[in-house]
Structure 1
């Protein structure tokens, strides 16, 4: 996409501000700052789950490319009743971690609700988040640690997490993903990966296509190549709490038409039913780091409207990585037609925009009708599917009925 004069000026100002920030960076990197914070001295079990009266287990999962991921298990419901239903693996979205599923009260959080209904709950955390920053040979301060996009989540994190739960329980599991957690699932399913260990998949705020995204802030960042600017300047970690990203947001928010008075709403759409009292709790735990390369990959999807592997930007590099001049496509029409899926999307969602979801639905139009459930919630935006106070009645009860049938 060609730069406008305005965009060129904005990018120049942004590069200048980031360059200044880099010159002022001291020897304490963002990982060291996180490690000194009280929140990082404990895990999700002790911080969010055991405090609500639930039993919780902390596990570690090592991917084939060396990343060490944290995983939590809630093996019993409130009162200690042991699960008598299959495992359910919960996968969060971008800039979030597994706390997504247990931040609300027990009667409003899907992780707790599933446990209370007899499911064996497992919570995944992708590489780079607070409790998944380990590696067999790399440190988060190494640029190489952040050399990944969601392609690697498809190829390594997702299979490792699913295999781990399968090995621990001896059972096939249900999968529940939100946002980026749906994208990596769709992409894996399109290559027939991991399906032999899954019973079904629930995909909330489903993302496969982003070309019609209506979030003005997300599109502004993508169109201005601001994620690439971070990467070119050597900032491989996209740390939402860091100065560089704060400067990036400042630039985006100054663009005409962008209202940043409420950042969550500005990015996700107007969430109808998120309790305002949970904002402080949310900010204690989220947002979290991801790779700048991951944000670039998502920006590529916004700019092109396609769902492909990471584009290295030139024929030679794409040939080197893929053996072809353009990145390979994840073909949604290749998802097995008999695999049970439940898709839930909202009319106010500006990230999983209705038009993009409709494109996805057209690509799976030949799916076996009795294996595909689609739920549309007119007033829901992106965060409502995981944080809304009425989600149990509107989303989670139908979701569990689907799981019980599969």
Structure 2
């Protein structure tokens, strides 16, 4: 159990003990938290498959330096003749998520081969986005953020960069946390002037009914808060502190740690076991402990609100009110083209939470909202499923063509 926990990925992996002993905790050379390797995602993941790829750097208004990759043409060499698409990954992973399966199964490559100008975002704290204009990841201040800052800074910086580089409005695809930050930004009327449509896979807005035993155990036990207040600012899934956290969770008799992927994500129907090994060569990756605390607050409270600092006084200092402001999903413009795809087996994007979201979108223009339900899909199937190209990505591209 202990060896397994030390290489646990709390969102998308299983049977880690079998491969953990031969994994490098970081597949790239890192000094002061900054990658030194010259071969970034383009060289390691895209060009090896025969695609042209560009590496870009994007600086947020609060000083974080993010990596971004562009695949400007398909493997045939024909330049993109369709609009740009921005791909935004989920929690504890980076943009490699969209490239791990073979090209005919990976959304990043599929879009490029279908004529789209593909842009891949990587949020702050991930392996290739650990730069900052004045801080290093060794500074506690570097990790003083939650997904509020991804809404306020990372997502707008990525949108502006793609828009400035291409001169076009873009389509957006988010998975998991990538959907939450998009919903929240759209609810504040942000980014809409640069957006054609948005496809949200495993949509997360409300988390109050999440059935994932391990995630709920961690949230209910306030364990992430313990790490935060003890001064662990970086939530590193491969680190000793997180391993100890997970060990404590697994002591709960109601938590099954013998099948971690099912406990966290639900029973994925269609993920090839070889993809897990490839996944572990690159993931999981760090996030801020404060970000994990914020998600735990959502699970416990069932609300979509900004980070709760734990007291009326602190909230007043940050927000000018005693409680954190809410993100109002009903404020998402009714004419914004949305494609939502969710799964019946997903333990993180639970069907009841998705229904709560859909209820808030009940007045959305009928011709601008497509909702797809896959009874057999769990959380990881939407990005790693061997049949996702047929059952999710083809309908997604058909939706793009309409907008």
Q: Same fold (TM over 0.5)?
A: yes
Q: In the alignment, what sits opposite 1:263?
A: 260
Matched position secondary structure for 1:285: coil
- Please give the alpha-carbon distance, in whole angstroms, between the structure 2 residues aligned to 1:328 and 1:97: 28
- Please give the alpha-carbon distance, in whole angstroms, between the structure 2 residues aligned to 1:257 and 1:84: 53
Is contact 1:31-1:140 (8 Å) kept?
no
- Please give the alpha-carbon distance, in whole angstroms, between the structure 2 residues aligned to 1:236 and 1:156: 19
- Please give the alpha-carbon distance, in whole angstroms, between the structure 2 residues aligned to 1:96 and 1:228: 21
Q: Structure 2 matches for 1:105-144, cutoff 5 A?
A: 105-144=102-141
Match of 1:214 among 211, 214, 235: 211
Q: In the alignment, what sits opposite 1:237?
A: 234
Matched position secondary structure for 1:342: strand
With over 3 angstroms needed to count, the CA separation of the structure-2 counterparts of 1:283 and 1:31, relative to structure 1, is: closer
Task: Return the TM-score normalized by structure 1.
Answer: 0.91
With over 3 angstroms needed to count, the CA separation of the structure-2 counterparts of 1:228 and 1:34, relative to structure 1, is: farther
Q: Structure 2 matches for 1:58-207, cutoff 5 A?
A: 58-207=55-204
Q: In the alignment, what sits opposite 1:303?
A: 300
Q: In the alignment, what sits opposite 1:283?
A: 280
Residues 285-317 of structure 1: CA distance to partner in whole angstroms, max 9, x if unpaired? 111000000000000000000000000000000
Q: In the alignment, what sits opposite 2:310?
A: 313
Root mean square deviation, CA, Å: 1.6
- Please give the alpha-carbon distance, in whole angstroms, between the structure 2 residues aligned to 1:276 and 1:31: 21
Between Structure 1 and Structure 2, the one with more helix by share is 1
Correspondence 1:372 to 2:381: no
Residues 157-199 of structure 1: CA distance to partner in whole angstroms, max 9, x if unpaired? 0000000000000000000000000000000000000010000
Is contact 2:28-2:36 (8 Å) kept?
no
Is contact 1:274-1:383 (8 Å) kept?
yes
Is contact 2:316-2:322 (8 Å) kept?
yes
- Please give the alpha-carbon distance, in whole angstroms, between the structure 2 residues aligned to 1:136 and 1:256: 46
Q: CA deviation at 1:253?
A: 1.3
Q: In the alignment, what sits opposite 2:30?
A: 35
- Please give the alpha-carbon distance, in whole angstroms, between the structure 1 residues aligned to 2:217 and 2:255: 9
Structure 2: where are the runs of 5+ without partners? Answer: 1-24
Q: In the alignment, what sits opposite 2:400?
A: 403
Aligned residue pair count: 377
Is contact 1:61-1:71 (8 Å) kept?
yes
Q: CA deviation at 1:33?
A: 8.9
Q: In the alignment, what sits opposite 2:15?
A: none
Correspondence 1:54 to 2:51: yes
Residues 183-231 of structure 1: CA distance to partner in whole angstroms, max 9, x if unpaired? 0000000000001000000000000000000000000000001100111
Matched position secondary structure for 2:372: strand
Is contact 2:27-2:281 (8 Å) kept?
no
Match of 2:356 among 356, 359, 368: 359
Is contact 1:31-1:141 (8 Å) kept?
no
Residues 99-123 of structure 1: CA distance to partner in whole angstroms, max 9, x if unpaired? 0000000000000000000000000
- Please give the alpha-carbon distance, in whole angstroms, between the structure 2 residues aligned to 1:93 and 1:193: 20
Structure 1: where are the runs of 5+ without partners? Answer: 1-29
Q: In the alignment, what sits opposite 1:386?
A: 383
- Please give the alpha-carbon distance, in whole angstroms, between the structure 2 residues aligned to 1:324 and 1:340: 33
- Please give the alpha-carbon distance, in whole angstroms, between the structure 2 residues aligned to 1:335 and 1:403: 19
Q: CA deviation at 1:260?
A: 1.7
Task: Return the TM-score normalized by structure 2.
Answer: 0.92
- Please give the alpha-carbon distance, in whole angstroms, between the structure 2 residues aligned to 1:31 and 1:262: 24
Q: CA deviation at 1:280?
A: 1.0
